[in-house]
């Protein structure tokens, strides 16, 4: 048996070194004579493990002290619904900038709880570009502006952080967490599921400026109050302990890789290699996203004829390249090349694509 290169969009590849460590510690963790899954989240061993993960995340991302870092259940989708409840009252307005599927979903999850305004949308163009901020119709006095720095399905990524003045920026970083350095102080909230860049499914990371919480004036069930999670180190109820532990190991691995700067440079090289092979294929492979907003994490591409999709995927699997089938909404292929994908994996994909083109072009 041999592990293949896994291009799955999420849950996605984890570093092999992390999985081996999990395997080593599966039966007995940290001298607890039990696995990490079997001990209390209130015990010192887990509290230490949780705190270390938070420290490493803060260090890797340069999170300022006036931000809380939460490790929650529910996924990005639940947070897309909880954040509107936690950031303002029902009569406030929130602006949404839509550049793909996940922005739309965040908007739908906000609508029951707050007035919403679509400040910009590139839907009519098939979500292949980003509306320039100069054209955004922002609401004066909005509670926040929500956007998706990397749209996982459409493969559209912001190469800049929008300037919304004093209006807090709320960003769904699910598919780009810690994929490059980011200035956290520019954001009100950064949130995302771990299952793309940082760990297994089941844990959601929220980095939130503390002064934004607890001021909404709503009568929320205590478990929906993020301020309760913030003041209880994300242990207001049982946290996803196993996922939290694995995220901690991935964060250690990221530090060994050289941190956000090094991982960002590696991710840039990987995506440049793949886009160069698509663009240099004489039109055999095509990615239609505007060049200045192509994603470094998710690279969708189509073949000249959809009838070639099946043979392409079959040959890819035989060559040890998994998870390349595109999202059902778009068809074609998608290569997700998150932090854990080594450049060798991208090189193997590029080599396979060239071979396949020679045989079918």
State the residue for tokens 């502006």.
145
CA angle (172 as vertex; 166, 176 as ends), nearest 5: 115
Can residue 76 be called a binding residue for ligand PLP (CB under 6 A)? yes
Nearest distance in Å: CB 231, ligand PLP: 24
The region of 53-61, 171-179, 180-188, 253-261 touching ligand PLP under the rule CB under 6 A is 171-179
Residue 295 binding ligand PLP, by CB under 6 A: no
Q: Rounded to whole angstroms, what are the CA distances from 70 to 66, 116, 162?
A: 13, 25, 24
The DSSP code sequence of 34-99 is: S-GGGS-TTSHHHHHHHHHHHHHHHHHHT--TTEEEEEESSHHHHHHHHHHHHHS-TT-EEEEEES
CB of 240 to ligand PLP, least distance (A): 12
Size of the site for ligand PLP (CB under 6 A): 12
Candidates 41-49, 172-180, 252-260, 266-274; binding stretch for ligand PLP (CB under 6 A): 172-180
Whether the CB-CB separation of 103 and 149 falls below 8 Å is answered with no
Binding positions for ligand PLP, 198-217, rule CB under 6 A: none
For ligand PLP, the binding residue among 15, 155, 168, 193 (CB under 6 A) is: 193
Alpha carbons 295 and 151: distance in angstroms, whole number: 8
Provide the 3-class DSSP secondary structure of residue 253.
helix
Chosen residue from 35, 73, 77, 121 binding ligand PLP by CB under 6 A: 77
Catalytic annotation present for 196: yes
Closer to ligand PLP by CB, 146 or 357: give it: 146
Could you tell me whether strands 150-151 and 156-157 are parallel, antiparallel, or unpaired per DSSP bridges? antiparallel
Measured between alpha carbons, how far is 103 from 154 in angstroms, rounded to an integer? Answer: 11
Nearest distance, CB of residue 79 and ligand PLP, angstroms: 8
Give me the least distance between CB of 175 and ligand PLP, in Å please.
4
Active-site residue flag, 172: yes
**x/- contact string, 101-130, with ligand PLP (CB under 6 A)?**
-x----------------------------
CA 154 – CA 55 distance, rounded (Å): 33
170 within 8 A of 187, measured Cβ to Cβ = yes
CB 54 within 8 A of CB 102: no
The answer to whether 167 contacts ligand PLP (rule: CB under 6 A) is no
Among 174, 179, 229, 267, binds ligand PLP (CB under 6 A): 174
172 binds ligand PLP (CB under 6 A): yes
168 binds ligand PLP (CB under 6 A): no
- 48 is an active site residue: no
**Residue 80: both structure tokens together:** 């897309």
182 binds ligand PLP (CB under 6 A): no
In this structure, is the dihedral angle defined by the CA atoms of residues 72, 191, 101 and 203, taken in order, positive or negative? negative
**Cβ nearer to ligand PLP, comparing 201 with 348:** 201
Residue in 56, 172, 252, 357 annotated catalytic:
172
Nearest residue to ligand PLP, by Cβ distance, number only: 75
Distance from chain centroid for Cα 97: 17
Q: Which residues bind ligand PLP (CB under 6 A)?
A: 10, 75-77, 102, 148, 152, 172, 174-175, 193, 196
Q: Give the residue numbers marked as catalytic.
A: 102, 172, 196
């Amino acid at each position: 048996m041999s592990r293949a290169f896994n291009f799955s969009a999420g849950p996605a590849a984890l570093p092999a070194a992390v999985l081996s460590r999990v395997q080593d510690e599966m039966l007995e963790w940290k001298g607890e004579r039990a696995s990490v899954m079997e001990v209390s989240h209130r015990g010192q061993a887990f509290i230490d493990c949780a705190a270390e993960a938070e420290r490493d995340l803060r260090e890797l991302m340069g999170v300022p002290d006036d931000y809380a870092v939460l490790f929650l259940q529910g996924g990005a989708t639940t947070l897309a619904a909880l954040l509107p409840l936690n950031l303002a009252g029902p009569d406030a307005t929130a602006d949404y900038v839509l550049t793909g599927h996940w922005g739309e979903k965040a908007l739908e999850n906000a609508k029951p709880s707050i007035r919403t305004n679509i400040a910009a949308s590139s839907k009519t163009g098939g979500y292949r570009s980003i509306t320039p901020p100069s054209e955004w119709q922002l609401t004066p006095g909005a509670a926040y502006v929500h956007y998706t720095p990397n749209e996982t399905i459409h493969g559209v990524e912001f190469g800049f952080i929008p300037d919304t003045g004093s209006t807090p920026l709320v960003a769904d970083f699910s598919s780009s967490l810690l994929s490059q350095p980011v200035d956290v102080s520019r954001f009100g909230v950064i949130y995302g599921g771990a299952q793309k860049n940082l760990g297994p499914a089941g844990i959601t990371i929220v980095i939130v400026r503390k002064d934004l919480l607890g001021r909404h004036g709503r009568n929320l069930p205590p478990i929906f109050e993020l301020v309760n999670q913030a003041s209880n180190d994300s242990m207001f109820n049982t946290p996803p302990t196993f996922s939290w532990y694995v995220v901690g190991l991935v964060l250690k691995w990221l530090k060994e890789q050289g941190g956000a700067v090094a991982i960002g440079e590696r991710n840039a090289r990987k995506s440049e290699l793949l886009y160069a092979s698509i663009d240099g294929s004489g039109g055999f492979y095509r990615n239609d996203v505007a060049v200045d907003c192509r994603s470094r994490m998710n690279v969708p591409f189509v073949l000249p004829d959809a009838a070639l999709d099946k043979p392409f995927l079959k040959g890819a699997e035989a060559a040890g390249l998994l998870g390349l089938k595109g999202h059902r909404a778009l068809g074609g292929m998608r290569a997700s090349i998150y932090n854990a994908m080594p450049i060798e994996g991208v090189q193997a994909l590029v080599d396979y694509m060239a071979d396949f083109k020679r045989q079918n072009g």
